[in-house]
Amino acid sequence: MRKRPAFREAFAGFDPEVVAGFGDDDVARLLADARIVRNRQKIEATIANAHAVLALHADGRTLDELVWSFAPEERAQRPRSRRDVPAQTAESVALAKTLKTLGFPFIGPTTAYAAMQACGLVDDHLATCPVVLAS
């Protein structure tokens, strides 16, 4: 989280049209930027992700719509402990597989599930969470 502003700056505000245009000089610049994670595979995957987002847009689709199409049914019960929170689900496996086929190279079911949590597709607040108890 503390590196987010640096990532936002380094990757042109996460504008897929700009990032998709990054070339070898940009990759070299990013690899030299100590403010961000300097991993060639991750940098190149981010550029590939931008291309994949643009391809979705060209097909009249959005990443938002795609991801939400994998939202699971609401759970009958909240998890009681952290052990009850899954690392992945059938939906996150399917989402990761679809994203890979669409050109998103650095995604797996666990990362897809974390994204589903972050975007609100799944709510893994424990049954004992003060937020849950207050609602």
pLDDT value at position 131? 85
Q: How many CB atoms lie within 10 A of CB 77?
A: 7
Residue type, 31: L
pLDDT value at position 50? 99
Residue 126, token pair as written in the block: 């424990």
What topology does CATH give the domain 62-135?
Answer: Endonuclease III; domain 1 (1.10.340)
Buried b (16+ CB within 10 A) or exposed e, 22-47: beeebeeebeeeeebeeeeeebebbb
Is residue 125 part of an annotated ligand binding site? yes
pLDDT tens by residue, 117-134: 999 999 999 989 898 888
24 pLDDT higher than 90: yes
Average pLDDT, the chain: 95
Q: Are 103 and 53 in contact (CB under 8 A)?
A: no
Vertex 14 angle, CA 56 and 71, to 5° = 50
pLDDT value at position 4? 93
| In the chain, % of residues over pLDDT 70 | 100
Q: Give me the residue spans of the domains in the chain.
A: 1-60, 62-135
pLDDT tens by residue, 70-125: 999 987 788 999 999 999 999 999 999 999 999 999 999 999 999 999 999 999 99
